[in-house]
Amino acid sequence: MGEPELKGRGALPHVFVMNAHYTGIGIARNLRDHGVDVYGLSWDPNAPGVRSRFFKGIYRVPNCRDEPQAFCEKLIELGRGHNEAPVIFPTRDFDVTFLHDHRQELSSLFCFPQNSAVEFLLDKLTLFRIAQDHDVPVPVTVVCSSIAEIDAQAQSLRFPQVVKPRIAAQWRQKGVWEAVGARKAFLVESAEELRAEYLRISTISPEIMLQQYVYGADSDVAVCCCFINAKQEMAAYFTARKLRQNPPLFGTGCAVETVNVPEIVPLAKRLLQGSGYCGIAEVEFKRDSRAGKWFLIEVNPRHWDQHEIGTHIGVNLSWIAYQDMIGRPCTPQVPVKPVAQFRWIAETDALMLALRNTYLQLQEDSLLSDSFKRWLAIRFRAIRTFLLEIAFLLKGRKVFAILHRRDPLPGILLFLRTARELFDLLGRHLIKHSRTGHATVD
């Protein structure tokens, strides 16, 4: 991954994107046809975007999570190579926190996408207090930092409860992610289970947030995707819902569909304006399947994986945010009427989820197998289930996270990597099967 040549003043300021994965590729696609040169900042030489033609170039940089000072020095070096301050877009909570913490050193070299109010949105406890103050429904939420507090709160909690970090990046730190079981959040069904889980992770992450579980399926999760300008106006928005998450319940959306959910737009607007925030945001809500009421779940104050889907219904958040940041007048963008349904699909994640769900069903049904005929029928049913899931995901109009007809190389490389991962997974499964005499799930 070679260093692209730094260019001087052009027709439009350049854009730096702080990764070359799904989110970064989407930003590059959104801006390329508007004549904006987009550069990827990547610490991962295997990121799919490093081979994407939508990037003007890729700079190899340290990971700001692990080496913030080295990353800051590299940004200063890159920024000084431009006659006009580039726009910089974060794509992870670590990126947002880094830019917030280093605003003083970098603000003269780059156009920042968020104001300082972003810290209120990253801290979930502060976020939920702001929501309550502005009549945005939130699940009952408490924070605990000791086993004594856990025991005291458990007496009044209604289970099941969702356990999550107060600040998402806390569990994404190096070493912590593995200690919490590589989970963004998890469900506990009883006080005993909560206590056991806390004792297991407390040495790594002593502070946790407990939140009343909102009943419903993954498809009951909807998002308001928007841009709040410096005048605190919602200058662009669209809504979407999750079809599939990987892992289910608390994972990242690997299949998301644009759909009109007008109820959540005023809630998101009140919340963001009440916090004083300006910038791009994804505000996530979940509809309680029993009460029929929308509850705030979280806010991503940045670009996120599926943002590109908005361009297919007339809302290009990257472009409108870019124009606002460079002081260019822009026309507000709202979804085309009626809202056309488009699906965003993360190819590998969606495939792996379908395979895992099919495998789990196969394992469960196999316990009932008492004959070869029954065994064969179970296999055919599992294959049918898998094919129906793939057909469901591919139904209708869609955009893929990586695959793109104008940018074939990242898709080819993704296919090869996915095939290798599947062969490795199959090999590990066969080894386990041969050692134990029965199949197990990783």
pTM over 0.95: no
CATH 3.40.50.720 is the classification of domain 15-112: yes
Specify the residue for token string 């074939």: 408
| DSSP per-residue letters across 98-118 | HHHHTHHHHTTTSB-SS-TTH
Tell me the two tokens of residue 326. 């460079």
Burial-class residue 362 by CB neighbours within 10 Å (0-12, 13-18, 19+): middle
Residue 383 half-sphere exposure toward CB, CA atoms < 13 A: 6
What Cα–Cα distance (Å) separates residue 212 from each residue in 154, 156, 225, 248, 414? Answer: 12, 11, 24, 18, 38
Predicted local confidence at residue 260, as pLDDT:
93
Worst-scoring range by mean pLDDT, 47-61, 244-258, 424-438?
A: 424-438
Tell me the two tokens of residue 311. 């361009």
Statement: residue 433 has pLDDT above 80: no
pLDDT tens track for 199-244? 989 888 899 999 999 999 999 999 999 999 989 999 999 999 999 9
Q: Where in the chain is the domain with CATH 3.30.470.20?
A: 218-344
User: Is residue 339 within 8 Å of residue 321, measured between CB atoms?
Assistant: no
Statement: residue 369 has pLDDT above 90: no
> 380 in helix, strand or coil?
helix
Confidence label for 358 from pLDDT (cuts 50, 70 and 90): confident
Give the count of beta carbons closer than 10 Å to the beta carbon of residue 324: 23
Predicted local confidence at residue 339, as pLDDT:
67
Tell me the two tokens of residue 82. 């431009």
Q: Where in the chain is the domain with CATH 3.40.50.720?
A: 15-112
Spatial CB neighbours of 327, under 8 Å, sequence gap ≥ 6: none
The secondary structure of the chain in percent helix, strand, coil, rounded to multiples of 5, reads 40, 20, 40
- Report the distance separating Cα 307 and Cα 425, nearest Å: 30
Worst-scoring range by mean pLDDT, 5-19, 55-69, 198-212, 332-346?
A: 5-19
Predicted local confidence at residue 365, as pLDDT:
65
Instruction: Report the share of the chain in percent with pLDDT over 70.
Output: 92
What's the chain's average pLDDT?
89
CATH topology of domain 218-344: D-amino Acid Aminotransferase; Chain A, domain 1 (3.30.470)
pLDDT tens track for 276-323? 999 999 999 999 988 889 999 999 999 999 999 999 999 999 999 999
Statement: residue 272 has pLDDT above 70: yes
State the Rg of the chain over Cα: 23
Predicted local confidence at residue 347, as pLDDT:
93
pLDDT tens track for 102-161? 999 999 999 998 888 999 999 999 999 999 999 999 999 999 999 999 999 988 899 999
Predicted local confidence at residue 205, as pLDDT:
85
Confidence label for 442 from pLDDT (cuts 50, 70 and 90): very low
Mean pLDDT for the stretch of residues 155-181: 89
Instruction: Report the share of the chain in percent with pLDDT over 90.
Output: 65
Confidence label for 441 from pLDDT (cuts 50, 70 and 90): very low
Query: Which of 30, 280, 51 has its CA nearest to residue 40?
Result: 51
Statement: residue 6 has pLDDT above 50: no
Mean pLDDT for the stretch of residues 333-347: 84
Q: Where in the chain is the domain with CATH 3.30.1490.20?
A: 140-212
Q: What is the dihedral of CA 400, 403, 407, 412, to 10 degrees?
A: 170
- Report the distance separating Cα 249 and Cα 268, nearest Å: 22
- Report the distance separating Cα 411 and Cα 417, nearest Å: 10
CATH code of the domain occupying 140-212: 3.30.1490.20
Statement: residue 7 has pLDDT above 70: no
Residue length of the chain:
442
Mean pLDDT for the stretch of residues 73-86: 89
Predicted local confidence at residue 101, as pLDDT:
94
